[in-house]
Amino acid sequence: DAKTTQPTSMDCAEGRAANLPCNHSTISGNEYVYWYRQIHSQGPQYIIHGLKNNETNEMASLIITEDRKSSTLILPHATLRDTAVYYCIVVLTGTASKLTFGTGTRLQVTL
Amino acid sequence: NAGVMQNPRHLVRRRGQEARLRCSPMKGHSHVYWYRQLPEEGLKFMVYLQKENIIDESGMPKERFSAEFPKEGPSILRIQQVVRGDSAAYFCASSPGQFPMSPLHFGNGTRLTVT
């Protein structure tokens, strides 16, 4: 699986958009980009995933650059409840694929 | 549609006892994954199972740990003769089909404390 690089921490004001970057310069054509978050002491929560195209759901948007070497997770209107550790994970397709969590970005949403 | 259910939420065991952790996947999900999170550390993969089969156990300690996902009933992670170093949060995840085309959905974990 391709390695990812994320900032260690970020701050965002409540109500503003939170843009979380992720670099995955060694990604291959059949690797998905996945985003999860973990709020303290809870299980990881699935946010969104994509292969090549940009994706949007009720939680967030995922913007993948044309060369697929980086992506951005966008939370359009951050709230205090979005404070969490956000993980960007690249996963190769295969019969025994699994998530491998790194250190993620600690997002702090402030008043 | 209920999410992934894990029980118990908290489990206390004395050194040398056995711990059994249960995971009921979401309805219609036949793929189950177990992860462990030690205090102040990230999640580490342990084992991946489909109904009645272990697909990948590369993250499981070679001794004292075992997992099963029977045809009927929940998936069980079993830890024999627990030691203090087994104290951690254990998370289960499930998916309806092959990952990563289908996302994994996690439960809220079982927190094991070994005294």
> Would you put residue A76 in left (φ > 0), alpha (ψ -120 to 50) or beta?
alpha
- Per-residue pLDDT, B42: 87
- Per-residue pLDDT, B99: 86
Question: What does the pLDDT profile of chain A (111 residues) look like in tens digits?
Answer: 668 999 999 999 999 999 999 999 999 888 999 999 999 889 999 999 999 999 999 999 999 999 999 999 999 999 999 999 999 999 988 767 888 898 999 999 999
Q: Using an 8 Å Cβ cutoff, are B87 and B114 in contact?
A: yes
Give how far A96 is from chain B: nearest CA, Å. 7
- Per-residue pLDDT, A97: 83
Beta bridge partners of A48: A35
CA angle B86, B88, B91 (to 5 degrees): 115
CA angle A43, A64, A19 (to 5 degrees): 60
Tell me if A46 and B55 make a contact (CB, 8 A cut-off): no
Tell me if A97 and B91 make a contact (CB, 8 A cut-off): no
SS3 B84: helix
Chain A residues lying within 8 Å of B103, measured CB to CB: 34, 46, 49
From A44, A45, A95, residue closest to B43, measured CB to CB: A44
Q: What's the mean per-residue pLDDT of chain B?
A: 94
Chain A residues lying within 8 Å of B93, measured CB to CB: 43-44, 99
